[in-house]
Amino acid sequence: MTYRATTGLILVLMTMALNGCGSSPPTEFITLDSAVPHYSVRVYAGPPVIVGRMTLPPELDRLSLVRRAQANRLNINGVVKWAAPLDLLVRHTLAVDLADRLPPGAVIIPGEPQPRKHALLLVVVFNRFSADLSGEVKLQAVWTLMEATSGKVLLTRTSSVTASAASTGAGDLAVALSQSLGKLSDVMAAAIANAKGP
């Protein structure tokens, strides 16, 4: 094969490779948003609540959107990705949801200065937080409210909520996941209002 023919073949192969890359679908980034409250506390005299650690199932510890396909099987979409680590998105969204349901100053949003004196700490362990291939979202979480300084547990609850996405599109799935966090916040706000702090 001559030099000119070899060069021409290389150019053709490079063009094909570039065209192949160009045909890949663009990455879609999604996030969680606060949900409209269905429950709100008008009067709350307890200490401010610090929204602490959020622990998600290990299979969700990735930027790609994960859906449950069937028993012991997952669908991981490499094109649809969360805009930030999912545990951070969940923590921030849950904090904003709670702040919308409790009186001003009752919830410390992550990043805000924490009180030096009495405060409560909310810790959440998610056993389930995902949609299936039909767009049905299931959330199950064990959450604990405790005194921030002493670690004394005031209450522990297990909550399960569901939501249905308008479609199986990534944006609608993100909306349904956000709605499930809003429903969880409704339950939390009611329980926090009745909890006796330090």
Region of residue 105 (phi > 0: left; psi between -120 and 50: alpha; otherwise: beta):
left
pLDDT digits (tens, 9 = 90+) for 125-169: 999 999 999 999 999 999 999 999 999 999 999 999 999 999 999
| pLDDT of residue 194 exceeding 50 | yes
Helical axes 86-101 vs 170-194, angle rounded to 10°: 50
| pLDDT of residue 198 exceeding 60 | no
Ordered by where they begin, the domains of the chain are 28-194 (3.40.50.10610)
- The arithmetic mean of pLDDT across residues 111-115, rounded, is 89
Inter-CA distances, 185 with 2, 43, 143, 150, 159, Å: 71, 17, 11, 24, 10
| pLDDT of residue 23 exceeding 90 | no
pTM for this model (two decimals): 0.85
Q: For residue 3, what pLDDT band results from cuts at 50, 70 and 90?
A: very low
